[in-house]
Amino acid sequence: MKKTALITGISGQDGAYLANFLIKKNYKVIGTDRRSARSDNWRLRRLKIDKKIIYEEMELGEIYEIERIIKKYPFSEIYNLAAQSFVATSFKSPLNTSNITGLGTLRILETIRNINSKIKFYQASSSEMFGDVLNKFQNEKTPLNPQSPYAVSKVFSHYITKNYRKSYNMFAVSGILFNHESPLRGEEFVTRKIVRGLVKIIKNDLKVLEVGNINAKRDWGYAKEYVEAMWKMLQQKKPDDYVISTGNSYTIKEFINLTTKYLNLETKWVGKGIKEKLINKKNNKILIKINPKFFRPAEVNFLNGDCSKAKKKLKWRPKTDLKKLVKIMVDDEINYYKY
Ligand code: NDP
Ligand code: GDP
């Protein structure tokens, strides 16, 4: 029989890739969006699956809406991807972030427990939970030290998922995913912002790109591969949490350098600190400069994941290195630029 899955946050990057993956596995996919969604489902259209999904409105702040949806379909799996997911916004809207990214998870878990505790539940945990880290690699045993209202909310969701697993014997798991990017990444996140910004400059639609802290390091993987790990976690005999990462960490500056190189721009960095700038050697024009308005009140300077457990138990491994990811993102940005 066809399995039915619920994906919250269907309009987001991971929602689109996961829906695509599950449809290929012959699942019936119900995707939920918040009522105020302004999304035109461009990601689902890009993957040509927009007509293959059943859409429902579901605001994570309203438990009655969650109940209505969970009662309506015979779900075997629920993937909770919806969240106020942008760290910078979480400093401006800490209460909304806590209500949606934190309590939203509890509302779903509580509803599953009441309606059908056999439904398997996936929670989108985040490497941001590790926060201010001291050790070289982070894995499932690394202490959490969140640095933003977003990360604090994800820590709440992470522990409440563990708690429901233990207390009520539910199949509830968290995937601790390190940053994962793609052409479908939101434009506010740094990788897509850099790729889009530089392509805009080349097309004469932007003069200078402004960014924040270019010395922070991230472990960036390819989102399309990461959603398979989510599914694999729900197919295991026992529920458990897993880190998903590449094991390589680069600075934002290194990401910029890989992007300019792929775009055949000859560049040089000049200046230091907030005066640091990237110059186009051909015409001496500034391509990128620092604007402190993009600095965060508290920063996560370094993330690098150790996904040995996922490699061993899920037989999952990352396949795309950063150079290849930059190529995928830049090619797509140029292809779809007009649209
Ligand atoms: P996106 O920001 O692309 O998608 C977030 C989704 O949540 C969107 O569909 C958004 O809808 C929805 N949403 C936001 N607020 C609400 C609300 N109040 N009620 C219902 N839905 C809401 O994130 P990603 O797809 O990149 O990430 C998926 C999940 O994984 C998120 O929970 C994120 O925090 C987490 N994560 C992501 C990582 C990454 O690198 N991408 C790393 C680790 C964890 P709308 O379109 O209306 O805004
Ligand atoms: P995050 O890891 O979930 O916060 O993902 P982001 O892509 O938003 O940010 C990754 C890192 O890039 C953080 O350390 C940011 O401080 C840094 N960064 C530097 N400049 C920018 C910028 O202009 N926008 C964003 N979003 N992040 C930036």
Determine the residue of 6, 10, 14 to mutate for testing ligand 1's pocket, defined as the one with the most ligand atoms within 8 A of the Cβ atom.
Answer: 14
pLDDT band at 1 (very low <50, low <70, confident <90, very high): confident
| C-alpha of residue 143 to centroid of ligand 2, in Å | 22
pLDDT tens track for 17-69: 999 999 999 999 999 988 755 567 999 999 999 999 999 999 999 999 999 99
Q: Is the pTM of this model over 0.85?
A: yes
pLDDT tens track for 189-199: 999 999 999 99
| C-alpha of residue 333 to centroid of ligand 1, in Å | 21
In this structure, are strands 286-290 and 277-280 parallel, antiparallel, or unpaired? antiparallel
pLDDT at 40: 78
Q: Which ligand is nearest to the CA of 210?
A: 2
Percentage above 90 pLDDT, the chain? 96
> Which CATH code, of 3.90.650.10, 3.10.20.30, 3.90.25.10, 3.40.50.720, is assigned to 190-215+251-299+332-336?
3.90.25.10
| More confident call, 33 vs 238 | 238
Nearest-Å Rg of the Cα atoms of the chain is 20
218 lines ligand 2 (CB under 6 A): yes
- Is the pLDDT confidence value at 230 over 70? yes
Average pLDDT over residues 242-253: 98
Query: For 124, left (φ over 0), alpha (ψ -120 to 50), or beta?
Result: beta
Q: Which ligand is nearest to the CA of 256?
A: 2
Q: Which ligand is nearest to the CA of 292?
A: 2
pLDDT at 173: 98
Nearest to 133 by CA among 16, 301, 286, 334: 301
| C-alpha of residue 253 to centroid of ligand 1, in Å | 25
Beta strands in 212-285 (DSSP E): 217-218, 221-222, 242-244, 250-251, 267-270, 277-280
pLDDT tens track for 80-95: 999 999 999 999 999 9
| C-alpha of residue 290 to centroid of ligand 2, in Å | 13
Domain boundaries, the chain: 4-182+221-247+300-319, 190-215+251-299+332-336
120 lines ligand 2 (CB under 6 A): no
Q: Which ligand is nearest to the CA of 252?
A: 2
pLDDT tens track for 138-178: 999 999 999 999 999 999 999 999 999 999 999 999 999 99
Please provide the CATH number assigned to the domain covering 4-182+221-247+300-319: 3.40.50.720
pLDDT at 39: 65
83 lines ligand 1 (CB under 6 A): yes
| Residue nearest (by alpha carbon) to ligand 1 atom 27 | 14
| Residue nearest (by alpha carbon) to ligand 1 atom 4 | 12
